[in-house]
Chains A and B, each alone.
Chain A
Amino acid sequence: MQTTTSDRLTVRAEEDVVKVRQATRSLAQKTGLNLVDQTKVVTAASELARNTLVYGGGGEVLIEAISDGMRSGVRLTFEDKGPGIADIELAMKDGFTSGTGLGLGLSGAKRLANEFRIESRLGEGTTVVITKWKG
């Protein structure tokens, strides 16, 4: 796996969620994702950035163009130092929410991406990584 370009953004306010969307869009375009896949990864980025802000109390997003030799894609890593998730399995269920959302953030982002990984420790924070491959 090779990273060709990367960009790190902080998520501290609502405006930052918009910036994450825009940065993801521009990298997805550069990587050559088709319009539907661009829309999917930008929407997933929006959901996860909002989670980072609302539930994680803010954090960072790493936006990378990656390639594994055969294919290229976009990888997004959302990191926060928030309270963490007690029951990841429960949090991944459609409709589950600990806040005011629709509860589609995590499960929806997973459906929109090709690869999805979540790690969380109570009291330490949460990291979510998604990858969208071209084609």
Chain B
Amino acid sequence: MADPTGVTVSTISRLPKLLKIHEAQILKVWMDEQLASLSRRAGLIGDAELRAQSKNFLSEFHKATQSGSLEDISGPQWASAKALLADICRSRAEQGFTPMETASFVLSVRGPLMDRLQQEYGNDAAGLAAEMRSSNLLLDKLALYTAEVALQNRETIIKRQQEEMLELSTPVVRLFPGVLALPLIGTLDSARTQIVMENLLQKIVETEATIAILDITGVATVDTLVAQHLLKTVAAARLMGADCIISGIRPQIAQTIVHLGVELQNVATKATLADALFLALQRNGFSVQRLAKESAGAK
């Protein structure tokens, strides 16, 4: 990690020495400052956890600066410090901190460090300026790294939540022995279709259903792509030995389907879920009738 000039920054940096002697003091000041500024969001993280994180970071930071590489944090010397920051990012993302707040964890150590440097250098203004400059750059890099990891975590969490919501929004209900219903709501894109199919087929296996009703009452629009997705689901269910009935077809959707030239061959379609259930029961050999007593009473 030699500087092109032949002089490595570490040869003149007093940061490692400072950290070695004053680590406990720096930690104390840093903790006090953090607790004061965090007071608004104190509920998110416990004092003990924050102390442990701060202590670990200072010690990793110390170790890495000792290795002499104060400019480039991509080297192996910084691997362990970065791993710790990534860990902190993960737990803070779960706790609800924003990426900015997480990055400011790293930046907040700047104050206590600079104070120490100032005391250390005393009247050597030139030396202090150089040291401040390199330390600031270093902390900026670490903060940027932290922000990046925090953002990535956030994206991962958002993606996972989206998936969970997708699954929640596609329930498969058992209407009658051997008959399943899938009330589809919203849009039916290919990601959604994938989950619908997986849920439906799994439920067919579990319940040994022979008929599945796909109810599209809640599907806003049916275009060629949505129709294709519906037909794929029907085909996959049939390969498993279950027939599908599509119900909840509004007049407008019937018109669109015909205009688009989509053929719903071999798929029974019904206007309402109730009609579809009647057909399903019929196919499974059941009939529905009003009890004689009640029908007499009704008249």
Contact = CB atoms under 8 A, between A and B. Distances in A.
A135 B164 CA distance: 13
A36 B152 contact: no
B198 interface: yes
Nearest to B194: A36
Interface string A107-134: 0000000000000000000000000000
Contacts of B152: 70
Nearest to B160: A135
Contacts, number: 4
Interface in A62-107: 70
Contacts of B198: 36
Nearest to A35: B198
A94 B194 CA distance: 21
Interface residues of B, number: 4
A70 B155 CA distance: 10
Contacts of A70: 152
A134 B276 CA distance: 38
A43 to B, nearest CB: 14
A70 B194 CA distance: 22
A36 B190 CA distance: 14
Contacts of B194: 36
Interface in B192-226: 194, 198
Contacts of A135: 159
Contacts of B159: 135
Nearest to A69: B152
Nearest to B197: A36
Nearest to A70: B152
Interface in B45-92: none
A36 B198 CA distance: 8
Interface string B180-197: 000000000000001000
Interface in B120-171: 152, 159
A135 B152 CA distance: 15
A36 B159 CA distance: 19
Interface string A1-41: 00000000000000000000000000000000000100000
Contacts of A36: 194, 198
A113 B198 CA distance: 18
A36 B152 CA distance: 26
A21 B57 CA distance: 47
Nearest to B159: A135
A70 B198 CA distance: 25
A36 B196 CA distance: 13
B121 to A, nearest CB: 40
B134 to A, nearest CB: 28
Interface string A38-50: 0000000000000
A39 to B, nearest CB: 11
A71 B91 CA distance: 20
B61 to A, nearest CB: 24
Nearest to B195: A36
A38 to B, nearest CB: 13
A18 to B, nearest CB: 23
A70 B152 CA distance: 8
Nearest to B155: A70
A36 B197 CA distance: 11
Interface string B100-136: 0000000000000000000000000000000000000
Interface of A: 36, 70, 135
Interface of B: 152, 159, 194, 198
4 contacts: A36-B194, A36-B198, A70-B152, A135-B159
Which 4 residue pairs of A and B lie closest in terms of their CB atoms, listed nearest first?
Answer: A36-B198, A70-B152, A36-B194, A135-B159
